[in-house]
Amino acid sequence: MIIDGYRLKLITSLGFDISDIPSPVESSTAHHDLYGWSKEAKKPYLYIGKIVLSGVKNIKGRFVDKAGKPIPNVYISITGSRRGIWILSGSDGTFSASINAFKGGVLQFYALYWPWSYSKNIEVGDQNEINLGDIVIEGIPPQIVSVKGPTSIEKGKTAEFEVSFIGGESPSVKWFRWNYYEEGGAEIGNTEKISYTLKKSSYICVEVRDKSGGDSRCTSVIVITEPPEIKVFLSDGTELKEKTEYEFDEKTYVPLKISISDPDSPKEELNFSIRSDYPLALSYIYSLSPVLYTGSVKQDGTFSLIFNAWDSDWNFVEKEIKIKVKNKPITPSISIFPDKVSGNAPLNVSFRVQAKDHIGYVSFDFDGDGKEDLRLYSDYVQKTFDKEGNYTVRAKVVSEDGIPAESSVNIYVFPEFKITQFSASVTQGKRPLRVNFTVQTITNASKYVWFFGDGSGAETYQNTISYTYNPRLAGTYYARVIAVSQYGTERSSNYIPITVLNSPPTIQSFSASSTSGYAPLSITFSVSATDDAGITKYKWVFGDGYVVETTTSSISHQYSSGTFTATVTAYDTDGDTDTKSLQIQVLTQPSCDTPSVSLSANPSSGNLPLTVTFTANVSTQFTISEYSWDFNGDNVIDITTSSPTTSYTYIKSYTTTVTAKVTVVNSCGGSASASTPITITVPQKHSADFFTPVSSCVFTSASIINDASFRVSDLNGDGFQDVAVIDVSTGYLHIATGSGDGTYSYSLSLQVCSSSSPCFTFDIADFDNDGKNDVLVFDDSITSLVFFKNSVSGFSSGVSSFVSAVSDPNGVIHCSSFDIRSADLNGDGKKDVFVGCSGYSFYAFGNGNGSFSGGTTLGFNGWVRRAKISDINGDGKPDIVGLDRDNKNIFFALGNAFGVSATLTLPGGITIESFDIADFDLDSKKDIIAISSDQILYLFRNGGGTSFSFSSTANALIASPANSYLLESAEMNKDGVPDILWTAYTSSPQGLTYFDLSFQNGTTEIAFSDSYPKNTSSYFSNVDNAGPISYSPFAVVDVNNDTFDDVVMVYNNGCVVSFKRKTTVPAPQIKLGEGKISDTANKSHSLVGCSSFTAQTTYIIFLYMLLRFLFRKRKARLR
């Protein structure tokens, strides 16, 4: 085929030239198929005719938006021939494409820019270029084409940013800045081109948006600043630097300290991280104080420890530290501990393993043959040695460096030991059940441990034992025994069941306090029952609808009228029972009556103290609900009882007759009374005229005085005793000077303490060593000792000494004074002082000038009165002996340190009122005589030191009722034996007009067989309407310098009474025996003021006869 002078060679896909194929077809129309295949001829054919060949057409155009901005990347598809093409528009929105097309044909043009699309059919003509022009794309949201700006900039410089976009309907533009250290993004502009100065590395973002949508882009801009600096230190401050190796042993913990600094970023905007090569490891990797662990290595090696840090401007630095880890061979250790090393076969041994620094397992060789018998991965193993023999047990371990360690122990296994038989004599029976147990072993055991199954057990060396089962509940109990060999091996037997059977309870009796009576009738039921394990409860059915369960064997119940069957059922621990019944008949209550009553007394008269038993005899149809007793006839009920019999002891200070009365009330409210006279006789005491009372009424202004505010001493230096008192109500000291004959005259009054807070505690002694007796007061209002110096003509103003010992152990001042006693406590020749307090009593040392210092409290809180300073324990040092009313005892504070070492109390906790110290039994040791609140004398004999034993008592009744008794001891008859004087205070009538004196005889008994003190007389003042002021003060002194002790008392009318000892009448000398002055009585009231010749003569004759009687009696004893 020749075209334009050229032979056209057309090679087909079948490999032949189509020009060589003859054509059977002709056509004048344009035909695209130049050749084909003839099925009929089975050969190719060639179309011969007019051939129209396709030409190359160039199609171009441009895509723009409504604003004329070019749109790139529009997808374009052009088809029309057998093959089509597709392209994208360029960055300027233009496109150009060449495609083969036949004239007269049609090309399909399709463009897509989501969501916009465009299609067009293009007719092919003669032109070779088809220009579609600008194709406007509408309805697409704005799209950013590019964002221009720098990627880095120096800090403080201004950067230019510009955005290019296409599409959209008048879209808005917004620029934002964002970094990690700000919340949200800051808006920095709203035009297509902006200028902005960055302070920190940030992302610059722009958003273009209209109502259909929008687009956004971000670009990062680094602000060029100084990078952070990393420094790493050891705990000793050594800095670790790069390019330097630091050597550490393996398995070492190395504390590190990291410092990160940056001149441009605050500390909170710095970040860091750490990583390491194996085997290095770090703890606390997010801390600036991590700990490096070097790990374990087989051989020496160098590893990297890498530290990274970055700041808020995205500056990133890295620091690499080289760590050389040195291998340190580890030697393991192992110890094995068996729970036993010997015993009988089969022997079970538990091994505890302690191994460290090893890897893997523990290898055990139990039989010593050098071979591994067990690999142990724990620290505990058990092994049973079945055969007799000596075994060497070895345990081995190996460290990770291959170093071995071994431990061994010898186990000795003796011949087999076991129980062959365990038997019981009986396995069932009623309780109590006695069982004999027997055990047999192959070889003899060293001991047997028995368990009986009921919580009890025993241990024996014999193979038999007997045990009695008597449990609370019947049941089966499982007994066993453990046999222990001579090597300590234990073998346990099988269990033997022992069945204990129950015996039901038995009621022996069931009774009622009454089986008939009037309603309401209260009956007490009683039951007696037995059981082998005990009764657990009783069920009472009273027959009137009431049912009660108790654990006691009696109960009371009240019935209304009717006939009832009362039943009781006894239960044992196993629930078995026994029942008994009674018939109860209750009649309707008759109308209330008035009781008939009479009262009898036994005895109806007698000597003081008189104990009378009263019996009320009553007749009534009803039970008596109460007996009300008036023993004194004062119409005041003294006691109410439910019994018709009671007793009462009469204690009077005078002979009198009273009317005792009883009033009874029955259960329906009827009442009646009966009475009987009782005559109480006060036994007359022998009359002994030893004293002459002389009174001086000088203290008319004093109203309240007690034994602590009353002293007798020579105050003016004339050799005669003077009297000083402090009026408790005013705080005034009153002094009366003695004339030497027992009379006194008023001398002076002195305010010694605050009138608003008056005091009464004082003492008289020479406190400044000038030879004159001074006055010392404790003033509670200022908590100080106050010294009043004696100038003979008067007393100076008080000088106070505050003593720190006034305060208690907690530093709180706590002393309400009740007593002052002075003596040389520390042996320095100066007067010291002890103050008895309600609170913490104390002592202070005198300085020899009237002031005091030092000292301390006795260490206990109490109420101390009537103290004595005496050598109680015979060590030659003064001791403090005091009466503690709060704690009801006498205490001993010994002179070595004045700490309370012992106390003395009365039997039954009876209150001690007063006491004194003297050698009553003449054994050269000081005893204690005390009087109690119930008017009993108690003698405590000194056994040495502060060891006192109760010796004897005496009835010291002086008045009733009375309180605040005062007792003193003195040798009143010059027989070498201390005697006892006492008095009491009564409030109505106020005070007593006499005191009692008991002459003692040097024995340990202070009373005769009738319980009264030996040889006791009463001595009266003969002062009308007078008694001791307030709390019974009296003193024993020689008021007239005749060498005989006299008695001085102060009375409530301001009178001072001196009981002067009569020198012409000898006092009884009774040291040789216990002869009574009177055969019928040993106590008498003496009208001391009676001085008639007849009375004195009668007394002398009586005394003479008494002495003759005693002398004859003594001679008869000597024969």
- pLDDT tens, 947-967? 999 888 998 887 766 767 889
What pLDDT sits at residue 1111? Answer: 39
Token pair 């012409």 is at which residue?
1064
CA distances (Å), origin 755, targets 46, 727, 760, 954: 162, 10, 11, 43
Tokens of 892: 């001993």
Q: In CATH, what class is 596-681? A: mainly beta
Chain segment 901-950, per-residue pLDDT in tens = 788 887 777 888 899 999 999 999 999 999 988 889 999 999 998 899 98
In this predicted model, which residue has the larger pLDDT, 7 or 945? Answer: 945
Burial of 185 (0-12, 13-18, 19+ CB in 10 A): middle
User: HSE on the CB side for 717, CA within 13 Å?
Assistant: 11
Lowest mean pLDDT among 571-580, 996-1005, 1109-1118: 1109-1118
Question: Do 640 and 628 contact (CB within 8 A), yes or no?
Answer: yes
**Highest-confidence segment of 800-809, 894-903, 1023-1032:** 894-903
Tell me the mean pLDDT in the region 790-802.
82
pLDDT in the model for residue 1065: 56
**H/E element, 1009:** none
641 pLDDT higher than 70: yes
Asked whether the predicted pLDDT for residue 1 surpasses 60, the reply is no
Q: What is the pLDDT of residues 1046-1057, one digit of tens each?
A: 999 887 667 888
- Listed range (529-538, 838-847, 991-1000, 1063-1072) with the worst mean pLDDT: 1063-1072
| pLDDT classification of 830: cutoffs 50, 70, 90 | very high
Give the contacts of 905 (CB within 8 A, at least 6 positions apart).
888, 889, 890, 912
pLDDT at 37 over 80: no
The tokens describing 355, both together, are 């191994």
What 3-state DSSP class applies to 1008? coil
Please tell me the CATH code under which domain 506-578 is placed.
2.60.40.10
* pLDDT confidence of residue 328: 87
Rounded to an integer, the average pLDDT of 985-1008 is 76
Contact 87, 76 (CB under 8 A): yes
Strand partners, 760: none
Sheet holding 374-376, edge to edge: 342-344, 404-414, 389-398, 359-365, 374-376
Check residue 812 and give its pLDDT. 64
Topology adopted by domain 419-501: Immunoglobulin-like (2.60.40)
Structure tokens given for 29: 């129309």
Q: Output 625 or 691, whichever has higher pLDDT.
A: 625
The residues, any chain, with a CB within 8 Å of residue 21's CB and separated by 6 or more, are 35, 44, 45, 46
pLDDT band at 469 (very low <50, low <70, confident <90, very high): very high
Do 2-14+34-137 and 506-578 share a fold? Answer: no
d(CA 823, CA 846): 10
SS3 per residue for 549-574: EECCCEEEEEECCEEEEEEEEEEECC
Closest CA to 582 of 611, 606, 604, 559: 559
For 618, phi then psi, to 5°, come to -125, 145
Identify the pLDDT of residue 1072.
37
- Average of per-residue pLDDT across 318-332: 92
Higher local confidence (pLDDT), 906 or 778: 778
- % of the chain with per-residue pLDDT over 70: 84
DSSP 781: T
Strand order, beta sheet including 645-650: 596-602, 610-619, 645-650
Question: How confident is the model over 1101-1108, as a mean pLDDT?
Answer: 42
| Domain residue ranges in the chain | 2-14+34-137, 143-223, 229-325, 333-414, 419-501, 506-578, 596-681
pLDDT at 1095 over 60: no
Q: Which amino acid is at 542?
A: F
Chain mean position to CA 1041: 69
Mean pLDDT computed over 1066-1075: 45
pLDDT tens for 662-718 read 999 998 889 999 999 999 876 544 445 688 888 888 887 666 666 677 899 999 999
Sequence length of the chain is: 1119
CATH architecture under which domain 143-223 falls: Sandwich (2.60)
Contact 504, 521 (CB under 8 A): no
- Position 865 scores a pLDDT of 86
Place of tokens 């006055």: 775
Residue 526 contacts residue 511 (beta carbons within 8 Å):
yes
Phi and psi (nearest 5°) for 406? -145, 150
Three-class secondary structure of residue 1116 per DSSP: helix
Structure tokens at 662: 């009883």
- Separation of alpha carbons 583 and 328, rounded Å: 102
**Is residue 239 pLDDT above 80, yes or no?**
yes
Q: Which one, of 551, 459, 566, 457, lies nearest residue 514 by Cα?
A: 566
Burial 27-66 (b: 16+ CB within 10 A, else e): eeeeeeebbeeeeeeeebbbbeeeeeebeebebebbbbbe
Return the half-sphere exposure (C-beta side, CA atoms, 13 A cut-off) of residue 938. 24
Among 722-726, 786-790, 910-914, which is the least confidently predicted range? 910-914
Confidence of residue 28 (pLDDT cuts 50, 70, 90): very low
When mean pLDDT is compared across 78-87, 512-521, 928-937, the lowest value belongs to: 78-87
Whole-number pLDDT of residue 1067: 54
Determine the CATH number of domain 333-414.
2.60.40.10
Question: CA-to-CA distance for 928 and 917, rounded, in angstroms?
Answer: 5
Report yes or no: 600 and 584 within 8 Å, Cβ to Cβ: no
CA 21 to chain centre: 124
- Position 528, amino acid: S
The pLDDT assigned to 850 comes to 92
Mean pLDDT (the chain) is: 84
Nearest to 202 by CA among 225, 174, 224, 177: 177
Q: What is the per-residue DSSP string for 253-268?
A: EEEEEEEEE-SSS-GG
Q: How far is CA 1107 from the centre of its chain?
A: 75
- What is the residue-wise DSSP string for 921-958? SSSSS-EEEEEETTSEEEEEEE-STT-EEEEEEEE---
Q: How many CB atoms lie within 10 A of CB 700?
A: 11
Which residue did the predictor score with more confidence, 984 or 543? Answer: 543
pLDDT score recorded for residue 1116 = 38
Distance (Å, rounded) from C-alpha 829 to C-alpha 824?
6
Q: What is the distance, to the nearest Å, from the Cα of residue 1004 to the centroid of all Cα atoms in its chain?
A: 53
- Work out the average pLDDT over 443-449: 94
* pLDDT confidence bin for 199, thresholds 50/70/90: confident
Q: Regarding the domain delimited by 2-14+34-137, which CATH topology (the fold level of the hierarchy) does it fall under?
A: Jelly Rolls (2.60.120)
Q: Tell me what pLDDT residue 1119 has.
A: 37
∠ CA 821-965-908, nearest 5°, is 100
Residue 20 pLDDT grade (very low, low, confident, very high; cuts 50, 70, 90): low
pLDDT one-digit tens code per residue, 649-670: 886 545 689 999 999 999 888 9
Residue 809 has pLDDT above 50, yes or no: yes
**481 touches 450 (CB < 8 A):** yes
Q: By the 8 A CB rule, do 378 and 384 touch?
A: no
In the structure, what pLDDT confidence band is assigned to residue 52 with cuts at 50, 70 and 90? low
Indicate whether 1109 pLDDT > 60: no
Tokens of 880: 């403090």
